[in-house]
Structure 1
Amino acid sequence: MVTITAKPTSLESFLSLPETKPASEFINGQITQKPMPQGKHSLLQGALCQAINQVAQFKKMAIAFPELRCTFGGASIVPDISVFRWERIPRDKSGQVSNRFKLYPDWAIEILSPDQRQNKVLANLLHCIENGTELGWLLDPKDENILLISSDRRIQIFKGADIIPVLDGINLELTAEQIFGWLKF
């Protein structure tokens, strides 16, 4: 993770900068570039989006978006996965999904990369929760556990065969064992 020293003075000036690869985020007046996703991160992100969308998108309940910039609460962050309830997905005048999401996700999911600081990622999830997000997950592939942050800021840890709570109304049962099992094939 790289903290960029030349920083804009406002969220608006940050948003006027060109996008970076990997994405940069603006939170608490600081610009931080996310680490480049590696194999485990990419596989977990894709498989988890697919698992959520197979259940939620078909029934028009929610959609999981990978690497979607969300701008809200004075910050602009790019969770690894942002899940939006169907009725909250911004649409343009033609009814298509908007390009810009100026609102918080209902469920934010982060996957810890080897060179990422857990406290930084946890701070992003807490920013989401403080601004209306119902549920946050932090996946740690190294320790094979998932930290869950609920809307009341309570933090729980899930391992092994524990069923991890998902967004209310989505009929999906996942365990840490199952999710991290996707890394073995």
Structure 2
Amino acid sequence: MPASPTQTLALEDFLKLPYLEESPAWEYVDGVALQKPMPKTRHSFLQKRLLNAIDNSSNQYTALPELRCTFGGRSIVPDVAVIAWNRIQINQAGEPEDNFTQAPDWTIEILSPEQQANRVIDNILHCLRHGCKLGWMLDPDDRSIIIFAPHQEPEVCRGDRQLIAIAGIDLTLSAEQVFDWLKIDRR
């Protein structure tokens, strides 16, 4: 049975829960296990396009969907975790280790209608406090992207305002271009 939002547990116990890897993802914040909402169609379209755009813009970084990142007393699952290739631990078989125990270099969250924005922002800020270089929160309903950078005020981007990416990723996008990915041409 899934943990209730009022049940507190240790991080080690959370990581042993039998349903932890069920979809949608479970996160651990402040001693509480919380399940993310199930992604909807717009969320999935944006996530897919972001993954492709980032991967096609850099050889130094990779963009990974729904990667569990356990660090700083939390276990979170960003919609997109961008990580430098040289930070990915490799096992003896030459494959990536299953457990990623650091903050991503760049965390991207796509707000779902059922999601609480403050919980999402709290996870982005946690990432920044632990070495993350950049955070984005996309709000499809508002067609805006909030950019979070260490030691800076968040910036709300709409329309043709250019978005910033981390050094090593040659990505030129505006908020309008990102949300235009949702338009489907059926010709």
Q: Structures share a fold, TM > 0.5? A: yes
Residue number in structure 1 paired with 2:163: 164
Give the 5 Å matches for 1:59-70: 59=59, 61-70=60-69
* 1:5 CA displacement: 3.9
- TM-score, structure 2 normalization: 0.92
- TM-score, structure 1 normalization: 0.93
Mark the runs of 5 or more structure 1 residues left unpaired by the alignment: none
CA RMSD after TM alignment: 1.5
1:43 to 45, 49, 52: 45
Residue number in structure 1 paired with 2:7: 7
* 1:8 CA displacement: 5.0
| Closer, same or farther: CA 6–122 of 1 in aligned 2, 3 Å | closer
Residues 100-143 of structure 1 deviation map (CA, whole Å, 9 limit, x = unaligned): 10111000000000111111100010010111101000000000
Percent identity, aligned pairs only, is 44
Secondary structure (helix, strand or coil) at the match of 1:177 reads: helix
Residue number in structure 2 paired with 1:53: 55
Distance (Å, rounded) in 2 between the aligned partners of 1:32 and 1:85: 28
Mark the runs of 5 or more structure 2 residues left unpaired by the alignment: none
Secondary structure (helix, strand or coil) at the match of 1:164 reads: coil
1:28 to 24, 27, 30: 30
Distance (Å, rounded) in 2 between the aligned partners of 1:46 and 1:98: 23
Distance (Å, rounded) in 2 between the aligned partners of 1:83 and 1:174: 16
| Closer, same or farther: CA 131–153 of 1 in aligned 2, 3 Å | farther
Q: Which has the higher strand share?
A: 1
Q: In the alignment, is the contact (CA less than 8 A) between 1:83 and 1:105 conserved in 2? A: yes
* 1:7 CA displacement: 3.5
Secondary structure (helix, strand or coil) at the match of 2:62 reads: strand
